[in-house]
């Protein structure tokens, strides 16, 4: 029997449709994206995480001559957050990805490994993390949980 899974996401027309907090996250992700170390892919990604205490933590992708040793912006950010703010919940995660050129406007979603890593912290904190992803311009897609990006989720409940 074939079955269907539905996921929900919100389509936000662009920056001007964001509320003030979301705009702050967009700006923070855009700014930190500039710090990306991406000499190999020339694809820069910035990530901003809003914590429950109101602080915003940011990070960018960091590449390496030994390619697999590099790390995405999302994981750079959430690992640093967990290391420096243990027990502090993550409320929203905003990602902006775009190549140096040409500048596209298609929302860039978190890769599979990042989805899995975000899920770990969402499960740990017992509260959903809203995910926003976009390019430097154009639509912004939002899900209310990383589980919408990872419908068949593997987490510690299986272990």
Binding-site residues, in ranges, read 61-67, 72, 111, 114
Count residues binding ligand THU (CB under 6 A): 14
Strand 140-143 vs strand 43-51: parallel, antiparallel, or unpaired?
Answer: unpaired
Among 70, 116, 125, 155, contact with ligand THU (rule: CB under 6 A): 70
For ligand THU, what does the binding mask look like between residues 116 and 155, x meaning CB under 6 A? ----------------------------------------
- On the question of a cis peptide bond just before residue 124, with omega within 30 degrees of 0, the verdict is no
1/90 Cα distance (integer angstroms): 38
Spatial separation of the C-alpha atoms in residues 135 and 31, rounded to whole Å: 13
Give the pairing of strands 130-134 and 90-99. parallel
Does residue number 110 form part of the binding site for ligand THU (CB under 6 A)?
yes
Q: Write each residue from 9 to 48 as x if it is in contact with ligand THU (CB under 6 A), else as -, in one continuous string.
A: -----------------------------x--x-x-x---
């Amino acid at each position: 029997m074939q079955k269907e899974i539905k996921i929900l996401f919100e389509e936000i027309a662009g920056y001007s449709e964001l509320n003030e907090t979301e705009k702050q996250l967009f700006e923070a992700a855009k700014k930190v994206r500039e710090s990306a170390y991406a000499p190999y892919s020339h694809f820069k990604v910035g990530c901003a995480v809003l914590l429950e205490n109101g602080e915003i933590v940011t990070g960018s992708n960091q590449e390496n001559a030994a390619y697999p040793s590099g790390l995405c912006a999302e994981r750079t950010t959430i690992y640093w957050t967990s290391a420096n703010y243990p027990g502090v919940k993550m409320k929203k995660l905003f990602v902006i990805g775009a190549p140096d050129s040409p500048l596209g406007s298609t929302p860039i979603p978190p890769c599979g490994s990042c989805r899995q890593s975000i899920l770990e912290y969402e499960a740990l904190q017992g509260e959903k993390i809203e995910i926003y992803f976009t390019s430097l311009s154009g639509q912004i897609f939002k899900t209310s949980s990383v589980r919408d990006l990872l419908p068949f989720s593997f987490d510690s409940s299986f272990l």
